[in-house]
């Protein structure tokens, strides 16, 4: 039985165009893009042509594309590199503004800066759908408060609940205060129209394996004139911002995947949204199921369906669905297996008990109606079993506590 794969937000299958590009580039033989001989120049051409294709698909200049190993490195380079550059230029600028719903690649990086380098974190509130409060951001960027702000970071689309943030509006507020803005667009690229120049962002992170490219390749878009302190030191590649031997085959494959993903973006987004709405309609037939995040529409990723099931534990549901041939997740794959409620849902105002029963179903370029039908068919029995198991454990715990209490008294 072929599993119904509904975890594309974690990683998606390699597109045929990307595989063909990778194999073709690898078959050309060895060649370091920094070498001056023929093989090196050939590899350099592959890297630069891929850079141009990536930039064209994202509304950026080729010189604004910095190749990285993926979203986590891009986020860390953006945040740490920008924070250090801003602090070094003005020691008063130590405050970082962001929401508590960011990916852990952003949250943990900023918390490290706070613990090790004196950064001060200001958490911007979000509403019950995960949407940032722009008035709160504007208040932090008033002339009497913005003088100590190093940067703002706001993800383009949330990796768990799919809520799309007003990046352009936030960038406008930040720039009016003389503050740069970074956006983690890892989930958005390939599902939403992403125009770097139009967004106003100064830095934008992306990862190829989210839109059908290879794992281990990504990029950071850096607006011309934005100062960054490099994290990696060595050969000085990528304009001295990110040293390391460039992966020509990975670049080729990433560019091919993004070109394919953006070739018919409106049509693909409509197809995913229709599948997503059918999925949500089926999932919410289960009593106690509640859709989380923004309502279906332009404010939500077309392939995202996030639902909490009352009286269940997300991990139990994940295992039960997996046994039934349906693969999904409780949230970010980076935190899978961590026994704690989602920080995203808690920031949105849910209680820990409500957040415990969360499941994220995410669709991608090769998702089908059969995948949706499999999930809808499996969810009812899985929830019933998960609730019975939890109730049984709760009953045993209650009986144990009564026995202990009786023994003490």
Mean pLDDT, rounded, of the chain: 94
What pLDDT is stored for residue 103 in this prediction? 98
In a shared domain, residues 86 and 218:
yes
pLDDT (tens digit, 9 = 90+) per residue, 156-196?
A: 999 999 999 999 999 999 999 999 999 999 999 999 999 99
User: Does a structural domain hold residue 142?
Assistant: yes
For the chain, the domain total comes to 2
CA atoms within 13 A of residue 210's CA, in its CB half-sphere: 26
pLDDT over threshold 80, residue 47 = yes
What pLDDT is stored for residue 402 in this prediction? 44
CA dihedral 170, 84, 47, 265 (to 10 degrees): -20
What pLDDT is stored for residue 408 in this prediction? 33
pLDDT over threshold 60, residue 409 = no
- Average pLDDT rounded to a whole number, residues 376-391: 93
How far from 77 is each of 108, 213, 247, CA to CA, in Å? 13, 21, 18
pLDDT over threshold 50, residue 63 = yes
- Pairing mode, if any, of strands 120-124 and 95-99? parallel
User: Does a structural domain hold residue 405?
Assistant: no
pLDDT (tens digit, 9 = 90+) per residue, 9-19?
A: 999 999 999 99
Range(s) of the domain holding residue 268: 4-11+264-400
Dist CA 21 CA 12 (whole Å): 17
What pLDDT is stored for residue 242 in this prediction? 96
In a shared domain, residues 131 and 77:
yes
In a shared domain, residues 296 and 214:
no
CB 160, CB 238: distance < 8 Å? no
CATH number at residue 342: 3.90.1150.10
What pLDDT is stored for residue 167 in this prediction? 98
pLDDT (tens digit, 9 = 90+) per residue, 227-272?
A: 999 999 999 999 899 999 999 999 999 999 999 999 999 999 999 9
In a shared domain, residues 245 and 272:
no
pLDDT confidence tier of residue 144, bands split at 50, 70 and 90? very high
User: Does a structural domain hold residue 256?
Assistant: yes
pLDDT over threshold 80, residue 337 = no
In a shared domain, residues 69 and 199:
yes
pLDDT over threshold 90, residue 39 = yes
CATH number at residue 48: 3.40.640.10
pLDDT (tens digit, 9 = 90+) per residue, 97-125?
A: 999 999 999 999 999 999 999 999 999 99
Phi and psi at 382, nearest 5°, equal -65, -45
In a shared domain, residues 235 and 312:
no
pLDDT confidence tier of residue 139, bands split at 50, 70 and 90? very high
What pLDDT is stored for residue 177 in this prediction? 98
Per cent of the chain over pLDDT 90 is 91
Dist CA 139 CA 195 (whole Å): 27
What pLDDT is stored for residue 16 in this prediction? 98
Residue 334 a catalytic site member: yes
In a shared domain, residues 283 and 254:
no
What pLDDT is stored for residue 389 in this prediction? 85
- Average pLDDT rounded to a whole number, residues 332-337: 52
């Amino acid at each position: 039985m072929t599993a119904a794969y509904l975890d594309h937000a974690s990683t998606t299958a390699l597109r045929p165009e990307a595989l063909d590009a990778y194999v073709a580039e690898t078959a050309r033989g060895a060649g370091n893009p920094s070498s001056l001989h023929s093989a090196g120049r050939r590899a350099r051409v592959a890297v630069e042509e891929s850079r141009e294709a990536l930039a064209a698909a994202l509304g950026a200049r080729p010189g604004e594309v910095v190749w990285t190993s993926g979203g986590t490195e891009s986020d860390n380079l953006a945040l740490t590199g920008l924070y250090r550059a801003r602090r070094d230029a003005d020691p008063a600028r130590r405050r970082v503004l962001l929401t508590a719903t960011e990916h852990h690649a952003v949250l943990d990086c900023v918390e490290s800066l706070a613990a090790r380098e004196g950064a001060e974190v200001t958490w911007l509130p979000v509403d019950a759908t995960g949407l940032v409060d722009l008035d709160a951001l504007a208040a932090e960027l008033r002339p009497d408060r913005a003088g100590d702000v190093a940067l703002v970071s706001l993800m383009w689309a949330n990796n768990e609940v799919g809520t799309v943030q007003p990046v352009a509006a936030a960038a406008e507020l930040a720039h009016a205060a003389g503050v740069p803005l970074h956006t983690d667009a890892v989930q958005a690229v390939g599902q939403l129209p992403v125009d770097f120049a139009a967004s106003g962002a100064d830095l934008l992170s992306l990862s190829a394996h989210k839109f059908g490219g290879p794992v281990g390749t990504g990029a950071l878009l850096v607006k011309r004139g934005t100062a960054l302190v490099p994290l990696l030191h060595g050969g000085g590649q990528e304009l001295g911002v990110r040293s390391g031997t460039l992966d020509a085959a990975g670049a080729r494959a990433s560019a091919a995947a993004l070109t394919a993903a953006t070739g018919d973006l409106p049509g693909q987004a409509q197809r995913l949204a229709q599948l997503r709405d059918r999925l949500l309609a089926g999932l919410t037939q289960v009593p106690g199921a509640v859709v989380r995040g923004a309502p279906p529409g332009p404010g939500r990723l077309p392939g995202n369906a996030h639902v909490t099931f009352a009286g269940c534990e997300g991990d139990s549901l994940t295992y039960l669905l997996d046994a039934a041939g349906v693969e999904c997740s409780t949230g970010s794959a980076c935190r899978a297996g961590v026994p704690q409620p989602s920080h995203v849902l808690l920031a949105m105002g849910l209680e820990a008990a409500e957040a415990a029963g969360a499941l994220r179903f995410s669709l991608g370029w090769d998702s089908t109606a059969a995948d949706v039908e499999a999930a809808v068919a499996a969810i009812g029995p899985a929830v019933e079993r998960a609730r019975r198991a939890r109730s049984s454990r709760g009953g045993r715990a209650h009986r144990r506590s009564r026995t202990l209490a009786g023994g003490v008294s």
